Structure 1
Amino acid sequence: MVDHKQLFDETALECSKLITQRYSTSFTLGIRTLHKELHLPIYAIYGFVRYADEIVDTFHDKDKQALLDAFREDTYRAIREGISLNPVLHAFQLIVNQYQIERELIDAFLTSMEMDLDFTRYNDSKYKEYIYGSAEVVGLMCLRVFCKGDSQTYDRLRGAACKLGAAFQKVNFLRDLKSDYEERGRVYFPGVEFKDFNRAIKSEIEADIEQDFDEALIGIHQLPKGAMLGVKIAYLYYRKLFSKIKELPPEVITQQRIRIPNGRKMALLVRTYFGYKTGLG
Structure 2
Amino acid sequence: MTDRELDAAGITEPRLRAAYRRCRQLNARHGRTYFLATRLLPVERRPAVHALYGFARWADDIVDDLHSSATTADRAAALDALSARLAAGLAGADSEEPVVRALAHTAARYDIDHRHFTDFMASMRSDLHVTDYATYEDLRAYMHGSAAVIGLQMLPVLGTVVPRAEAAPRAAALGVAFQLTNFLRDVGEDLDRGRVYLPADLLAAHGVDRDMLAWSRLTGLPDRRITAALGAAADLTRTVYREAAPGLAQLDPVARPCIRTAFVLYGAILDAVADDGYRVLHRRAVVPRRRRAAVALDGLVRVAVARASASGARRLPGRPPAPYAPAGAPDGVPARGGRSWKETV
Is the structural similarity TM-score above 0.5? yes
Shift of 1:225: 1.7
Offset from partner CA, 1:70-129 (integer Å, 9 cap, x none): 111111111112421111110000011111211221111111111110011112343111
Indicate the structure (1 or 2) with the bigger Cα radius of gyration: 2
Larger RCO, structures 1/2 (Cα 8 Å, 6+ apart) = 2
Runs of 4 or more consecutive aligned structure 1 residues displaced over 6 Å after TM superposition: none
Work out whether 1:17 is the aligned partner of 2:24: yes
Query: What is the number of equivalent residue pairs in this alignment?
Result: 273
The residue number in structure 1 matching 2:294 is 267
The answer to whether the Cα contact below 8 Å between 1:110 and 1:133 also exists between their aligned partners in 2 is yes
Distance in 2 separating the partners of 1:66 and 1:243: 39
Letter in 1 for 2:120: F
TM-score, normalised via structure 2 length:
0.74
Work out whether 1:99 is the aligned partner of 2:107: no
The residue number in structure 1 matching 2:142 is 130
Letter in 1 for 2:115: E
**Does the residue aligned with 1:105 lie in a helix, a strand or coil?**
helix
**Where is the helix percentage greater, Structure 1 or Structure 2?**
1
Of the candidates 224, 232, 252, which is equivalent to residue 260 of structure 2? 232
Question: How do 1:174-185 and structure 2 match up within 5 A?
Answer: 174-181=184-191, 183-185=192-194
The residue number in structure 1 matching 2:13 is 6
The answer to whether the Cα contact below 8 Å between 2:20 and 2:98 also exists between their aligned partners in 1 is yes
Offset from partner CA, 1:209-248 (integer Å, 9 cap, x none): 1111112121112210221111111111101111111233
Work out whether 1:166 is the aligned partner of 2:185: no
Distance in 2 separating the partners of 1:187 and 1:31: 29
Change (3 A) 1:199 1:5: closer
The residue number in structure 2 matching 1:215 is 243
**Does the residue aligned with 1:226 lie in a helix, a strand or coil?**
coil
The runs of 5 or more residues in structure 1 that have no matched partner are: none
Distance in 1 separating the partners of 2:54 and 2:11: 22
Distance in 1 separating the partners of 2:265 and 2:56: 20
Offset from partner CA, 1:1-39 (integer Å, 9 cap, x none): xx9972222221122112212222222211110111210
Letter in 2 for 1:272: G
The answer to whether the Cα contact below 8 Å between 2:119 and 2:149 also exists between their aligned partners in 1 is yes
Change (3 A) 1:39 1:5: closer
**Does the residue aligned with 1:161 lie in a helix, a strand or coil?**
helix
Question: How do 1:135-150 and structure 2 match up within 5 A?
Answer: 135-147=147-159
Distance in 1 separating the partners of 2:94 and 2:140: 33
Distance in 1 separating the partners of 2:19 and 2:89: 13
Work out whether 1:52 is the aligned partner of 2:81: no
Distance in 2 separating the partners of 1:176 and 1:4: 36
Change (3 A) 1:6 1:276: closer
The answer to whether the Cα contact below 8 Å between 1:25 and 1:262 also exists between their aligned partners in 2 is no
Distance in 2 separating the partners of 1:169 and 1:209: 9
Shift of 1:264: 3.8
Shift of 1:44: 0.4
The residue number in structure 1 matching 2:282 is 255
The runs of 5 or more residues in structure 2 that have no matched partner are: 1-9, 204-208, 214-224, 307-345
The answer to whether the Cα contact below 8 Å between 2:261 and 2:296 also exists between their aligned partners in 1 is yes
The answer to whether the Cα contact below 8 Å between 1:82 and 1:94 also exists between their aligned partners in 2 is no
